[in-house]
Amino acid sequence: MNRSAIVDFFKKYDFTFFGISIAIFIMGVFNLYSATHASSSSAMADLFKVQSGWFALSLVIGFGISFINPKTFFRYSYLFYIVNVILLVLVLVLGHKGMGAQRWILLGPIRLQPSEITKIAVILVLGRWYSKSYPDRELGFKELIIPAIIVMIPTILIVMEPDLGTGLLVMLIFLVVSFYRRLKWKMIGILAVMALVSGGVMYKFGLKEYQRKRIITFLNPGADARGSGYNAIQSKIAIGSGQFAGKGFLKSSQASLNYLPENHTDFVFSIFNEEHGFIGSLILISLYMILFFRYIWLAQSVPRMFDSVVAIGIMSLFFWHTFVNMGMVMGLMPIVGLPLPLMSYGGSSLVTFGICTGVATSISNARNLF
């Protein structure tokens, strides 16, 4: 490629996905610093550096992926899916335990968390199935059977770990993608009823004690003996005390006094609100909204059905993470422990979002490059 070709390429390269992500990350890393700087342990206080390292890595990976032709994703989607299911089984057999659940396997120095990969694998495999199986028809009961099986296999494996949050998330992605692929309204009604019933049954029989406790805590914060209700209340105090303009950077009293546990993961949004107030949140949430609408725009401007479905899938992944996390810290939802994309501390979620951004960019570039 000569020089002008490279310039030409980058003129056509879609930087919006990476651009917005970097903007959100920068706000996030400052916020992370604020949440942890008062911590007595130096390991905690250095988390923002670790986070930056992970982000750099996820950018490199995502950027690399953006140069792959989307047809390649299409071609290898089934293989990717099968490998992922095998990994999920391996986790159950020989996984390492953390917080009472086994979620990862060790590959040399790398701690692989297959449930993270599942999110991407399910999006790709649904994209392929929905783009090839009578893509012109509306989805009825018959058309939903095979995709449902495809999604349920990894979901059940994930719930068995147990990682209820991710399992639920995969189902929600499935719901959004199917809706986009013209799921009949009648089916939507049936599914809603089924979800309510199975939810009740799950709550009664399928949940572990701590999972049930979280739901009770949400419904009645005073009912919990050991303080998760307390966390919900402290989180609300943090958010509310930010008022319109916030207390200012590094001024969060709730964080520095350790009122909030996990304030570097699940509760970053509370700290952000305490310090930057309503106006700060408006800016942050707007950035997320711009990102989401860019995905919806992408889904409607690609020439191939696979690309379109995948774009919606990735959007829904980002959206549910964001909405559930915010809803949970604001007391609108039970505490399920989903990180806020690009804001919460955590290497594996950063890498996942980096990969997704790379895939989206690749799809966008394909409109005029490939």
Partner 1 sequence: MFGEDDLVRQHKSRADVIGNILILCFVIILARLWYLQIYQGELFYKFSLENRLRKEVIKAPRGMIFSRNSQMLIHNIPRFDAVIIPQYLKNKNVTLKRLSKVLEMSEEDIKGILKKNRGQARYRAVTIKKNITLKEVSVIETENSKMPGVRVQTFISREYRDGNVGAHLLGYISEINQRQLPKYRKRDSYDYKLGDFIGQAGIEEKFDLDLRGDDGYEFVEVDARGRMRRNLRSSVLFAGIENKEATPGNNIRLTIDRDMQLSAFKALEKKVGSAVAVDINTGEILAMVSRPAFDPTKFSRGLTKEYWDSLITNELNPLRDRTIQEHYPPGSTFKAITAIAALEEGIVKPDQELKCGPTFRLGRRVFHDWKRGGHGPTDVYKSLRRSVDVYFYQIATQLDIDKLAEYARMFGLGEKTGIPLSRETSGLIPTKEWKLKRSGEEWQLGETVSCVIGQSYVLTTPLQLAMAYAAIANGGILYRPHLIKEIFTNNGEIIKKFEPEVVSKATVDEKNLQAIRKGLYQVANHPRGTAFWYKGFGLQMAGKTGTAQVRSMTSKELFSKCEEMPYKDRNHGLFVGYAPFDNPQVAVAAVVEHGCHGSSAAVPVVRDVLTTYMKKYDAETFAKNEKKEKEEYYSFIRKRTAARKKAQEEAEAKKEADESSEEDAEE
Binding residues for partner 1, rule: CB under 8 A, are 40-41, 135-136, 176, 179-182, 209, 220-223, 225-227, 229-230, 233-234, 236-244, 253-254, 257-259, 273-274, 277-278, 281-282, 285, 289, 292-293, 296, 299-300, 302-305, 308, 312, 315, 319, 323, 326-327, 330, 332
Closest distance of CB 352 from partner 1, Å: 21
Centroid of chain to Cα 285: 15
- Beta carbon nearer to partner 1, 151 or 238: 238
Closest distance of CB 43 from partner 1, Å: 12
Residue 358: C-alpha distances to residues 65, 77, 227, 290, 295 (Å): 5, 16, 40, 17, 13
- Beta carbon nearer to partner 1, 52 or 241: 241
Nearest CA to 329 out of 318, 350, 344 is that of: 344
Closest distance of CB 187 from partner 1, Å: 13
Is the dihedral angle over the CA atoms 76, 79, 85, 88 positive or is it negative? negative
**Can you name the residues that pair with 183 across neighbouring β-strands?**
139
Closest distance of CB 200 from partner 1, Å: 22
- Beta carbon nearer to partner 1, 308 or 348: 308
CA distance 368 to 356: 20
Residue 314: C-alpha distances to residues 59, 61, 256 (Å): 17, 16, 35
Q: Which residue has the tokens 């970097």?
A: 22
- Beta carbon nearer to partner 1, 88 or 363: 363
Residue 257: C-alpha distances to residues 37, 66, 330, 366 (Å): 11, 43, 20, 50
- Beta carbon nearer to partner 1, 162 or 229: 229
Residues in the chain: 370
- Beta carbon nearer to partner 1, 88 or 324: 324
Closest distance of CB 234 from partner 1, Å: 8
Structure tokens at 365: 């570039």
**Burial state string for 251-289 with b = 16 or more CB within 10 A and e = fewer than 16:** ebebbbeebbeebbbbbbbbbbbbbbbeebbeebeebbe
CA distance 79 to 85: 10
Closest distance of CB 57 from partner 1, Å: 30
- Beta carbon nearer to partner 1, 266 or 274: 274
- DSSP label at 183? B
Closest distance of CB 82 from partner 1, Å: 26
Closest distance of CB 140 from partner 1, Å: 15
- Beta carbon nearer to partner 1, 4 or 40: 40
- Beta carbon nearer to partner 1, 55 or 288: 288
Closest distance of CB 342 from partner 1, Å: 17
Q: Which residue has the tokens 């709550």?
A: 203
- DSSP label at 105? E
